[in-house]
Structures are given as C-alpha cells and as structure tokens.
Amino acid sequence: MAKLTFQGATGEVTGSRYLLETDDARILLECGMYQGNSDADEANRAPLAELAESLDAVVLSHGHLDHSGLLPKLVRDGYRGPIYCTPGTEELLEIMLEDAAFVMSKDIEWENKWRRRADKPLLEPVYDIDDVATTLGLCEAVPYGQARKIAGGIGLTFRDAGHILGSAIVDLIVPAGGRDRHLVFSGDLGNADAVLMHEPARPEHADHVLLESTYGDRDHRPMEETVEEFAQVLAEADKSGGNVLIPAFAVGRTQEVLYHLSMLHHAGRLPQQKVFLDSPMAIKVTELYARLRRTLDPEDMDRLHQAANGDPAAYLPGLQVCRTVEESMAINRITGGAIIIAGSGMCNGGRIRHHMKYNLWRREAHLVIVGFQAAGTLGRRLVDGAEKVKLLGDEVAVNAKIHTLGGFSAHAGRSQLLDWARGFQDQPVFHLVHGEPEAREALAAGLRDELGAEARVPAFGETITL
C-alpha cells in the first residue's frame, strides 16, 4: 500500500511538503519554507527530527524557498539521505540557501540585541551556513528525462516545468500492493507567455496528480499587453520625475524583467538611464542564467542578442549591480529617474524595504508589483491598498502609485492549468495544492465542470491512499 500525506501548502502558497510512504520507503516531496507573518516564523522553527530520522529520500521540484527553504533545517535535525533534483536546481540551491542562512543570521543578531536588553531568552537560527553546506553535499542531480530508481524501487523522472531554471514536474512510479501507481506532481508550472523558459512538458499518464493552484481562479493579462503597460508606467514615472521600485523575486522574475527592460531600451522606449539591480542573490542568479543560457529558450535569447547587435555587454547599458551595502545606500540619494530592482519579492525583508522608506511617501514615485504576494506579507498589504506601513521602525505614508503587473507571473494562469490537466489521457484524480482557498476551490470546480475530472482539495495533515 502507498500513502500520501499533505504536510504543507494546503490552502496557502508557501511551505510545500508532501510525504509519500510505501511498504519499503518514505519519500519527502519538497521541504518548503513558510513565508508571511509571525505564524510562518513559528512554523519554520517546528522540529523536524522525527521526520528526518524516518526518511529514505527527498525529491525536490525546484529551488524557490517556498519549496526548498527548510531543507537545511531537515538536515540540521538529522537527515542524511539523498536529495534528488535537477542540475539547474542544484546550482540555484547553493545561491538561495546560502543567502537564506545569511539573512537569517542577520535577523537573529538584530532580534537578540533587544532580547538581551529585555532579559529574554536568545533565539537560535533555524539553520546556519554549515547546515547549508551539508545539505548541498547530499544533492544528487538528475537531468530532465532520465529515469532513476530511488528508495523502495520507486521510479523518478524529472520533466521541464518551465517555471524557473531547473524547475521540474516530478513523475513517480510507485510500487504499491503488487502493482505500480503513477503519481505526477506538477511542481510550479510555468507561464507559457513568459520569456526565457521553455513551455512546460505535458505528461499524458497518471493515476494521481498533485497540481499547483496558485492562479487557479484567474488568468494573466497577455504578455504583449503587460509589457505595453510596463512601458507606460515607466513613461509616467519619467514624466512625474519619480523613481520606479520593483520588488525582486531573485530567481526568474528578475531575469525576465531585465529582459523586457533590455528590449524596451533597444526599442527606444526606456526613458530611465539608470537601472539598479540591488540584490546580491539576484545578481548571482542572473550571472548563473547567463552562464547556463544554452538551457534557456533559444528564440528569446536570439531575439535579445540580435537587438544588441550580438554584443552581450549592450543588452542593458544602464544596468548597475549593487553588491555592497554602501552601494545600496548610495541609491537612496537619488530622488528620481531611476529604476530600482531590489529584494525581496514580497517586500518582507531585504533591501527593497530601505528603498521603500525613502520613496513610498513620495507622490511622484511608483511601485511595480510583478509577482504573487502571499497573505500576510507587506507586498500584499500594499496591493490591498494600505495607506500607511511600518518600515524599519518608522511609519511611512503610502503616497506612491502602486501598479500590479500580473502578466509577468512565472506561474501558469487558470486556463493554462486546465489545458495542462486536459493533456492526461487517463482519468487521474487531481489533488490541488499550493494555492489560497479561493484559488483552489475555483480550479477544482473548473476541473470538474470542464474536464469531468475528480478534483480534491486536501486539508493540512490529510492522508490519502494511492
């Protein structure tokens, strides 16, 4: 018998984790970090020792922290088995997990300063750089399309999910009760309209499908219209004299935004002369994308290369990368005419908060949201119309104009999710994960009404038999 337990990302879009159990093995799909409010911090600190001790393997769909960010915590609590992922994901993990450990150490250092003054118990980090190093040493890279036998005789194949570099659809053949059961996990499916990534692969067979539902209740605006709106925002900001702030999702979204800025520049439609990339992690990831550009969509890369007359140095001449704190602080002396791309994507940390403190109160400034903002995050409060927010201890009025460009999403929209699900020739049971309640329910209704499929909305901690 084979069982699957939903241990995270049920009714929310962070903390992905699913436990697969057979008579011979226990496999963990994903080990994601929770992101959002103080409840997320508490959930990230929950002990994983019992789980770590019982596992035979971990399978990872991609490197975003909401899918991978607690791997070092699992290792810190005792796990020493293999972590299967694609080569692209393995390279991204080194950047992302090291950055996460660094940010956590700084946050803990700041938190413990006031705890000492208040005579309160000091906090330990969820994990540190040594835990990250051990985690990376456990990774086993499996290329797309290459079948691999893992613990318990389970067959594993990764297929391109088209979401970010290395992102994968996880295809598992699970021995259960004298027969094989076929489980497909979508991971995060890419937006086919987005640049740089290939279109998601389309598996045709499965008994059970774990399907993400981030945008299960809506479609994205067409990319052509989104880029046009982006160009109009930049023109409006130039006319008003303000800066443009773009909270950066370091992996995928930053590189896509830079691509479109480059194409606008070569079309003579980028009025801003200075573009700052103020995120050490996003800089490293962008350099990784450049190094692995042969794995990206060749048509998009050819288009960019031709626009720059074959000179990579001319892709975006106004781009300035800011690796140091001093370089980041210097940007805040600029009151207008700049585009500032800074971490983090949901505004819950990172350098973007400093730039917001200096710009959000300015009526001529513009904040461009280019990705999903989870409930409880600062980015979500801004999208929902907050008039004031607290930034680095100060209350700041929100006078800047807030723009939401959903078309830049790296996630498939509702119609794309339904179309992908339509590709299965069998009659699999769909289990909807990684989506907020309204999105999951809407996608479940669509699967039932439009495809005649069996669609379930699992609860946290629920166990099903495959």
272-298 per-position pLDDT tens digit? 999 999 999 999 999 999 999 999 999
Residues carrying CATH 3.60.15.10, the chain: 3-218+411-465
385's tokens: 């119309």
Residues carrying CATH 3.40.50.10890, the chain: 223-408
Answer whether residue 37 shows pLDDT above 70: no
Distances (CA, A) of 233 to 273, 288, 368: 15, 29, 8
What percent of the chain lies above the pLDDT cut of 70? 100
Give dist(CA 459, CA 453) in Å, integer.
Answer: 19
Closest CA to 2 of 17, 18, 15, 13: 18
Amino acid at 227: V
Closest CA to 277 of 352, 361, 354, 360: 352
pLDDT of 341 reads 97
Give dist(CA 368, CA 403) in Å, integer.
Answer: 5
Distances (CA, A) of 103 to 84, 153, 215, 358, 392: 25, 39, 29, 22, 15
Tell me the pLDDT tens digit for each residue of 171-213: 999 998 889 999 999 999 999 999 999 999 999 999 999 999 9
Q: What is the mean pLDDT of residues 205-232?
A: 96
Residue 320 backbone class (left: φ over 0; alpha: ψ -120 to 50; beta: rest): beta
Answer whether residue 108 shows pLDDT above 90: no
Provide the strand spans (E) within 285-439. 319-321, 338-342, 366-369, 388-391, 394-397, 401-404, 429-433
- pTM score > 0.85 for this model? yes
pLDDT band, residue 349 (cuts 50/70/90) = confident
pLDDT band, residue 29 (cuts 50/70/90) = very high
Architecture of domain 223-408: 3-Layer(aba) Sandwich (3.40)
Answer whether residue 6 shows pLDDT above 80: yes
Tell me the pLDDT tens digit for each residue of 111-156: 899 899 999 999 899 999 999 999 999 999 999 999 999 999 999 9
Q: What is the mean pLDDT of residues 428-451?
A: 97
Would you say 67 and 35 are in contact if contact means Cβ atoms under 8 Å apart?
no
Q: What is the mean pLDDT of residues 44-53?
A: 96
Tell me the pLDDT tens digit for each residue of 260-274: 999 999 999 999 999
Task: Count CB-CB contacts under 10 A for residue 184.
Answer: 23
pLDDT band, residue 344 (cuts 50/70/90) = confident
pLDDT band, residue 107 (cuts 50/70/90) = confident
Tell me the pLDDT tens digit for each residue of 205-214: 999 999 999 9
- Residue 75 has φ and ψ, to the nearest 5°, of -70, -40
Architecture of domain 3-218+411-465: 4-Layer Sandwich (3.60)
